[in-house]
Amino acid sequence: MGQDSCTKRFYYTEIDSSIGNLFLTAEDFGMTGIFFYREDVPQTIREQMMEGKRHPILKEAVDQLMDYFKHGRREFTVPLLIEGTDFQKAVWNALLDIPYGETRTYADIAASIQNKKAVRAVGQANRANRLPILIPCHRVIGKNNKLTGYAGNQVDKKELLLKLEGVL
């Protein structure tokens, strides 16, 4: 945001976590993505990425994520660069309000953003979240406490994250 796309620098690193390999991306001033597969990173970013294990944003993200996976962290402070529509940003901000170890339904999120009829759109916004875990879309469940879609049909990862947080 505010940078010309020609001058943006993209960095990446990979970590092995308790839910599998994670591919992290960042720009100079914040995290831009957590992906379960390198191929999920948008092509325009993949073409320009530089290895960034020593990049301060990625190093901070790795440290915080690894601490989270060891039950030592419940909130993240790594800077995020969030790009999306106003609606998506409203949903993602609502997700940031869900405490560790708790869940909300899609209907709860729709109500919290003053748009009770937008339950399906909330699901679509969750699906578009490029910063899973940091923006905790895994804490959103279907009615009757059903685990529904997560990050490209990775419901098993959602289940692992909710077990990690003591929800399941």
The single residue of 131, 137, 140, 161 carrying the catalytic annotation is: 137
Residue 36: closest CA among 54, 50, 15: 15
Contact by Cβ (8 Å): 71, 136? no
* Residue the block writes with tokens 């790795």: 62
Give per-residue burial for 60-88: e unless 16+ CB within 10 Å, then b. bbbebbeebbeeeeeebebebbbeeeeeb
| Residue 137 is a catalytic residue | yes
Coil, strand, or helix at residue 80?
strand
- The catalytic site residues sit at 137
